[in-house]
């Protein structure tokens, strides 16, 4: 659930738009004037970037005449997209569509493959589309980045993108226990569909999918999860955009989660959320105001001694905030941010007599930056706090920070480093919550035109307040992704996770090996 909270924060309050694109490392260089034009267009958001790309291609079709030239242009156009507010996947797809459409007919298939591979790498390293793996998100095959470049199916003024991923993995510790490990083979099938508008102004994006997971010998661990999302963008004018979105999902808590109860089956939960934001430019200043509401509902599960009641965890969360950023200098764009957060539980007290409703805040300053032509990112520092309804819970006040740095280290090499700190909810008796700090990175290296290597590292620390418990978690994985065709890919992954805690009874280590096949069709 930390990832869902993080995604909402990015959608509404991310320090967006428009770092100048990274320089291309391909043999074919993008002209400096084109780089500048795309950077200026990106300052006004995704629609302006796409319109600018269309104008550039109309003026100089040679930029998409060969696979090498098209790939370099795709890199340049995609560089600002990770910092946009809203759904980024449609923007990557539209960049691909425009470049592929401009390619000569004889080169179109080769251009499609080259552009698709370039933009799929960007998607894989976009933290909102492919967030870093964490130990409490085990239990299914790791999500693979969507294939970019597939033409989809145009139906009127929208394009439909179907996709399916299937896989199998071996887990040597399915219950995430310190001793008495139980292993099993697991199979998964994950169909998904996305619908994207083709309008000249405004935008609508919707996606839905399900994850079906089946264990070979431990059927009680089988799960059926699903998610759906609809997001709209209203382009009022060049300086003003409105974002609106709603989402719903059903998930389950992994056995490694510090909040998971010891049920005979995994604990299911449902989430409904909605958000709205307004982005407006006043001269050199970018101002945004946003808000979100989130509803979490947990299911009861059977335990060794009867039904485990999870209704005391049901809650609403209301988030609202404002951000002001100075865009006068493209290489360094400072901002200030204030965020309010109300968490209201349905029950006044939980099953142990604690009042867990609370009010919180996060405030501070940060900046978007471009350290060099191929290094960019954002960083934030400040303070965060929570005040609890229960008189036995002391306020939690701590330094706040988040950052991500993106380095395009070479033509086929991308590196992401990230940091995040937050105050999370807990079910631990006597503790109001825990301060969670995670740091890590991801390396993606093209090994050949069709083969990509992946390395992911994440280290988390959970500091449970008013108790002696702390958790240190490590999450490391390596993998390969091979494109059989422009629509079909294979993936291999090995993942190791470990928890070392002040409460040694919750220590565990886990090895998993995955095989994945996916297709966009």
| Number of neighbouring beta carbons within 10 Å of residue 61 | 12
Looking at CATH, the fold of the domain delimited by 2-17+120-520 is given as Porin (2.40.160)
Model confidence band, residue 337 (pLDDT cutoffs 50, 70, 90): very high
What's the CA gap between 52 and 65, in Å, rounded? 18
- The three-state (H, E, C) secondary structure of 141-161, written as one string: CCCCCCCCCCCCEEECCEEEE
114-123, 126-135, 141-150, 318-327: the lowest-pLDDT one? 126-135
Q: How far apart, in whole angstroms, are the C-alpha atoms of residue 41 and residue 63?
A: 18
Please state at what angle helix 46-59 crosses helix 89-102, rounded to 10 degrees.
10
**In the chain, domain spans:** 2-17+120-520
Q: For residue range 34-83, list pLDDT tens digits in order.
A: 888 888 888 778 888 998 999 999 999 999 999 989 988 998 898 888 77
Confidence of residue 171 (pLDDT cuts 50, 70, 90): very high
Terminal CA-CA length for the chain: 30
Distance from C-alpha of 205 to C-alpha of 197, rounded to nearest angstrom: 6
Give the span between the Cα atoms of 47 and 198, in whole angstroms. Answer: 11
Q: pLDDT per residue over 67-123, tens digit each? A: 989 988 998 898 888 777 777 888 998 999 999 999 999 999 889 888 988 888 788
Q: Which two tokens stand for residue 472?
A: 């240190």
Please give the Cα distance from 489 to 516 (Å, whole number).
8
Between CA 229 and CA 232, with CA 345 as vertex, the angle to 5 degrees is 20
* Residues 143, 477: Cα–Cα separation, whole Å: 13
Strands 285-298 and 268-282, sheet pairing:
antiparallel
Express each pLDDT in 283-306 by its tens digit: 889 999 999 999 999 999 998 888
């Amino acid at each position: 659930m930390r990832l869902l909270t993080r995604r909402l924060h990015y959608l509404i309050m991310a320090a967006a738009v428009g770092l100048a694109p990274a320089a291309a490392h391909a043999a074919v260089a993008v002209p400096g004037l084109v780089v500048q034009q795309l950077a200026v267009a990106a300052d006004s958001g995704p629609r302006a970037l796409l319109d600018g790309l269309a104008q550039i291609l109309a003026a100089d079709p040679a930029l998409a005449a060969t696979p090498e030239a098209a790939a370099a242009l795709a890199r340049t156009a995609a560089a600002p997209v990770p910092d946009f507010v809203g759904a980024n996947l449609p923007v990557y797809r539209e960049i691909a569509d425009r470049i592929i459409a401009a390619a000569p007919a004889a080169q179109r298939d080769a251009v499609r493959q080259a552009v698709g591979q370039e933009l799929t790498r960007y998607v894989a390293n976009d933290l909102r589309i492919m967030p870093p793996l964490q130990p409490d998100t085990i239990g299914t095959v790791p999500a693979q980045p969507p294939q970019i470049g597939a033409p989809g199916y145009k139906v009127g003024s929208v394009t439909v993108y179907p996709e399916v991923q299937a896989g199998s993995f071996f887990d040597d510790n399915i219950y995430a226990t310190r001793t008495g490990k139980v292993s099993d083979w697991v199979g998964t099938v994950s169909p998904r569909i996305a619908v994207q508008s083709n309008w000249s102004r405004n935008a609508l994006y919707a996606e839905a999918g399900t994850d079906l997971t089946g264990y070979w010998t431990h059927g009680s661990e089988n799960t059926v999860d699903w998610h759906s999302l609809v997001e709209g963008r209203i382009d009022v004018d060049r300086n003003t955009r409105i974002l609106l979105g709603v989402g719903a999902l059903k998930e389950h808590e992994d056995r490694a989660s510090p909040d998971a109860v010891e049920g005979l089956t995994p604990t299911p939960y449902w989430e409904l959320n909605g958000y709205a934001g307004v982005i407006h430019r006043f001269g050199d200043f970018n101002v945004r105001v946003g808000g979100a509401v989130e509803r979490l509902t947990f299911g009861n599960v059977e335990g060794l001694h009867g039904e485990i009641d999870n209704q005391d965890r049901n809650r609403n969360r209301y988030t609202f905030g404002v951000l002001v950023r100075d865009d006068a200098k493209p290489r360094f764009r400072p901002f200030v941010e204030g965020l309010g957060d109300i968490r209201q539980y349905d029950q006044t007290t939980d099953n142990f007599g604690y009042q867990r409703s609370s009010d919180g805040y996060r405030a501070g300053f940060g900046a978007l930056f471009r350290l060099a032509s191929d290094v960019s990112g954002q960083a934030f520092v400040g303070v965060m706090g929570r005040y609890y309804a229960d008189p036995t819970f002391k306020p939690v006040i701590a330094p706040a920070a988040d950052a991500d740095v993106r380095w395009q280290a070479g033509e086929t090499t991308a590196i992401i480093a990230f940091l995040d700190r937050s105050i999370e909810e807990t079910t631990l008796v006597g503790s109001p919550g825990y301060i969670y700090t995670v740091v890590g990175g991801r390396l993606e290296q093209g090994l050949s035109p069709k083969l990509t290597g992946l390395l992911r590292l994440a280290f988390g620390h959970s500091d449970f307040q008013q108790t002696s418990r702390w958790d240190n978690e490590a999450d490391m994985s390596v993998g390969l992704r091979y494109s059989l065709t422009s629509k079909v890919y294979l993936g291999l992954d090995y993942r190791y996770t470990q928890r070392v805690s002040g409460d040694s009874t919750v220590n565990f280590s886990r090895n998993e090996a995955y095989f994945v096949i996916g297709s966009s069709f």
